[in-house]
């Protein structure tokens, strides 16, 4: 086996130009930079409304060196369906040479994917379009000022789940987008994290080598939305993995594989305490979140058929 890929092996070429208006330390900015390193130059991108779209395309400037289109909030997957169908039709009719391999990448935030865009996404996955869909999940509607979404985790403060005398932040658990994607029998789904860039790179390359619809769920820390200092983005992304809050894995044609095993987990508190959005949580609420994480880890280990994410070590 060849030696594992390191960050130094990633392409030098930048197709996500600097000078955009994303916040310092934005997890999504790191993701976009490295996603565009992983996809080939001949990739058309369709993007949903949201932080990434708004901050990277203020006319007459653009951060995108790819052909890129934004239409609305809830339809990035439908637009991608149209792009993909057009490429196929135009190839068949000889307008685009048969030899030209053009990939289609579609991206949206958690709001544009889990919530308002779920119908367009489901249609795209079900119809079998040859599209890679990447959801960058910052766990709320950040562009409009940190409102909760179906991806907001239990306990998180947002501007629409504030902490008051009655409410204690978000009281429902995060939607499981991977299971939803898998229910469409897609050939490839994976999770990625900006603290594990070689893993991200390899998964995107692999996804694009597979025909059909693919979904990648990307962990995307948000400085103002999660209330932390900009230099902590990678530390938080790592801690999410070390606590089992986030698990890097892939499911290729039904085969499940954890790509970042964690033999010994840290308590979830280590992750929560880095972020202001969880500052109000009581010990009891934290233990409830720990229970949810334990449940998730148990499920993952069951899918893996062995213990890949170990027990909590205090």
Partner 1 sequence: MKHKVPLSGNSAVAYAVKAMDVDVVSAYPITPQTTIVEKIAEFVANGELDAKVIHVESEHSALSAAVGASATGARIFTASSSQGIALMYEIMFIASSMRLPIVMTIATRALSAPINIWNDHSDFMAVSDTGWVMMMAENNQEAHDDVVLAYRIAEDPRVLLPVATALDGFFMTHTIEPIEVISREEGLEFAPKKKTWYTLDPDNPVTMGALGDPNWYFEFKKQQYEALKNSRTVFDEAVKEFEKKFGRSYGPVEYFGNEDAEVVLVAMGHVSGNIKAFIEKTSAGNVGLLRVKLYRPFPEDLIVKHLENAEIVGVIDRALVPGSPYGGPLYSDVIVTLSKNNLSKKVVDFIAGLGGRPVTLGHIKNIVEKLEELKLKPQKDLPKEPLFVGVRE
* Footprint on this chain of ligand TPP (rule: CB under 6 A): 49-52, 73-74, 108-112, 138, 141-144, 149
Exactly one of 26, 29, 53, 177 binds partner 1 (CB under 8 A); that residue is 53
- Taking CB under 8 A as the binding criterion, the range among 22-30, 50-58, 168-176, 228-236 that sits at the site for partner 1 is 50-58
Asked whether the beta carbons of 228 and 236 are under 8 A apart, the reply is yes
Q: Which residue has the tokens 């202001």?
A: 276
Residue 269: its H or E element: helix 269-272
Give the residue, chosen from 55, 113, 152, 290, that forms a contact with ligand SF4 under the rule CB under 6 A: 55
Out of 45, 222, 300, 309, point to the residue binding ligand SF4 (CB under 6 A). 222
**Any contact of residue 26 with partner 1 (CB under 8 A)?**
no
Residue from 82, 187, 212, 224 in contact with ligand SF4 (CB under 6 A): 224
- Strand residues in 220-254 grouped as ranges (E): 249-252
Continuous segment of H or E residues that includes residue 204: helix 197-209
218, 34 contact by CB (below 8 A): no
β-pairing, 188-192 vs 249-252, is antiparallel
User: Taking CB under 8 A as the rule, which mask of x and - marks residues 220-239 in contact with partner 1?
Assistant: --------------------
Structure letter (DSSP) for residue 275: -
Which residue from 80, 150, 77, 146 is spatially nearest to 111, judged by alpha carbons? Answer: 150
Q: Which of 59, 97, 305, 313 binds partner 1 (CB under 8 A)?
A: 59
Would you count residue 126 as binding partner 1 (CB under 8 A)? yes
For position 22 contacting ligand SF4 by CB under 6 A, the verdict is: yes
Counting contacts by CB under 5 A, is residue 49 touching Mg ion? no
Beta pairing partners, 16: 64
Any contact of residue 108 with ligand SF4 (CB under 6 A)? Answer: no
Sign of torsion over alpha carbons 215, 178, 246, 109 = positive
Q: List binders of ligand SF4 among 153-182 (CB under 6 A).
A: none
Phi, psi values for residue 106, rounded to 5°: -125, 135
Tokens of 208: 């694009």
- Binding residues for partner 1, per CB under 8 A? 41-44, 46, 53-54, 57-60, 62, 64-72, 74-75, 78-83, 85-90, 92-93, 95, 102, 119-120, 122-123, 126-127
């Amino acid at each position: 086996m060849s030696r594992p890929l390191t960050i130094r092996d990633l392409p030098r070429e930048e197709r996500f130009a600097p000078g955009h208006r994303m916040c310092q330390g934005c997890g999504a900015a790191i993701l976009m930079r490295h996603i565009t390193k992983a996809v080939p130059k001949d990739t058309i991108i369709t993007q949903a409304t949201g932080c990434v779209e708004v901050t990277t395309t203020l006319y007459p400037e653009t951060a995108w060196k790819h052909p890129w289109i934004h239409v609305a909030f809830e339809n990035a997957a439908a637009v991608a369906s149209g792009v993909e169908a057009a490429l196929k039709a135009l190839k068949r009719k000889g307008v685009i040479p048969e030899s030209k391999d053009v990939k289609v990448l579609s991206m949206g935030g958690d709001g544009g994917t889990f919530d308002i865009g779920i119908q367009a996404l489901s249609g795209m996955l079900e119809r079998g379009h040859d599209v890679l869909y990447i959801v960058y999940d910052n766990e709320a509607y950040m562009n409009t000022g940190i409102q909760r979404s179906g991806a907001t985790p239990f306990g998180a403060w947002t501007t629409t789940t504030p902490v008051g005398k009655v409410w204690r932040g978000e009281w429902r658990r995060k939607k499981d987008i991977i299971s939803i994607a898998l229910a469409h029998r897609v050939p490839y789904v994976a999770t990625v994290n900006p603290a594990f860039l070689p893993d991200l790179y390899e998964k995107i390359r692999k996804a694009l080598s597979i025909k059909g619809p693919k979904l990648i769920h990307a962990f995307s820390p948000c400085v103002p939305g999660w209330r932390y200092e900009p230099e902590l983005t990678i530390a938080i992304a790592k801690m999410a993995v070390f606590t089992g809050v986030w698990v890097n894995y892939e499911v290729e044609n039904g085969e499940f594989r954890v790509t970042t095993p964690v033999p010994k987990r840290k308590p979830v508190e280590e992750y929560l305490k880095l972020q202001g959005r969880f500052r109000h949580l009581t010990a009891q609420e934290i233990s409830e979140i720990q229970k949810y994480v334990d449940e998730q880890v148990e499920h993952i280990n069951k899918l893996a058929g062995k213990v890949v994410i170990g027990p909590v070590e205090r």
